[in-house]
Amino acid sequence: MAARTCYLGKVVVVTGGARGIGAGIVRAFLESGAHVVFCDKDDPPPQWPEETSAHGFRQLLEVNLLGTYTLTKLALPHLRKSQGNVINISSLVGAIGQSQALPYVASKGAVTAMTKALALDESQYGVRVNCISPGNIWTPLWEEVAASMPDPKATIREGTLAQPLGRMGQPAEVGAAAVFLASEATFCTGTELLLTGGAELGYGRKASRGTAVDIPTLPS
């Protein structure tokens, strides 16, 4: 396959680029002709937390929100000079919520909100700021979360059936969306690109087991 050149010679910085979605983004930008710098860390990443202690919440905000903010702040002087752009990785659940995941959901909702606020502030400098909100993407993190569940196969099946498209997304598909936002979507700023296989569409059974259900009856 011939190498694509839509981002030829540009410098791209990717955080968490060693695996999963980050690795998909690194690969996609390399294929687009960019020079890619990425970082990662050695110790295992935190899982999607279910407990809501203030300490755990603070730790997650530190990584997901403040980490994103800090790197962006350092990069902005360069981005203003080069007319570059920022792509944050948020999450669908930041927009629609998810049960038993309050800190994660709140941190991602904040990433989306920060994206929009920064897009407004940076527009005067010609820097676009967008985010991608993935739904279920099959990554090592997803594998680890599934493996920790009592019935991993059932968890993976539920995660797959959540998408009308009948599958999970691939890291390469997030990479392709990131290259699109960076190189072609030149009139997009403050955009939240939902990359979800349609998971947020339509009605579903959403009352939880403990909810008192009030079902209307048909007139006889």
**Residues taking part in catalysis:** 104
Judged by CB, which is closer to ligand NAD: 16, or 84? 16
Judged by CB, which is closer to ligand NAD: 126, or 170? 170
Q: What is the nearest approach in angstroms of ligand NAD to the Cβ of residue 28? A: 13
Note the residues at the interface with ligand NAD (CB under 6 A).
15-16, 18-22, 39-41, 45, 63, 67, 89, 91, 134, 136-137, 139-142
DSSP secondary structure letters along the chain: -PPP-TTTT-EEEEESTTSHHHHHHHHHHHHTT-EEEEE--SSPPPP------HHHHHHHHIIIIIHHHHHHHHHHHHHHHHT-EEEEE--HHHHH--TT-HHHHHHHHHHHHHHHHHHHHHGGGT-EEEEEEE--B--HHHHHHHHTSSSHHHHHHHHHHTSTTSS-B-HHHHHHHHHHHHHT-TT--S-EEEESTTTT-S------TTSPP-------
Q: What is the nearest approach in angstroms of ligand NAD to the Cβ of residue 157? A: 15
Q: What is the nearest approach in angstroms of ligand NAD to the Cβ of residue 207? A: 24
Judged by CB, which is closer to ligand NAD: 33, or 140? 140
Look at phi and psi of residue 95 and say left if phi exceeds 0, alpha if psi is from -120 to 50, else beta.
Answer: alpha
Judged by CB, which is closer to ligand NAD: 84, or 171? 171
The residue of the chain with the least Cβ separation from ligand NAD equals 20
Q: What is the nearest approach in angstroms of ligand NAD to the Cβ of residue 20? A: 2
